[in-house]
């Protein structure tokens, strides 16, 4: 299956602990193979298979208490 690189803007991460929390949750999603999180750049970069819903990923990040901007989601 083909993979894609996706970048999501995430606001509210302030430290490495925040990065680790987001990385742990996203790494558990089937189809996500690489997760890079940067609180200093306010972004998450993922390598995902085509069948992974970016909306689902954004909602997972949002459920952790962070604000996300990806696609049509800006909360």
Render pLDDT for 35-63 as a digit per residue (tens, 0 to 9): 999 999 999 999 999 999 999 999 999 99
Q: What percent of the chain has pLDDT over 90?
A: 88
Is 34's pLDDT higher than 80?
A: yes
Look at domain 3-74 and name its CATH class. Answer: alpha beta
**How far, in Å, CA of 22 to CA of 25, rounded?**
5
Query: What is the widest separation between alpha-carbon atoms in the chain?
Result: 35
For 13, 41, 42, 46, the CA distances from 29, given in Å and listed in that order, are 20, 23, 21, 11
């Amino acid at each position: 299956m083909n993979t894609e690189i996706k970048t999501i803007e995430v606001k509210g991460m302030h430290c490495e602990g925040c990065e680790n929390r987001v990385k742990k949750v996203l790494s558990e999603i089937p189809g996500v193979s690489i997760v890079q999180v940067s609180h200093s750049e306010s972004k998450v970069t993922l390598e995902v298979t085509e069948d992974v819903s970016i909306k689902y990923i954004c909602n997972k990040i949002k459920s952790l208490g962070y604000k996300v901007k990806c696609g049509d989601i800006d909360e």
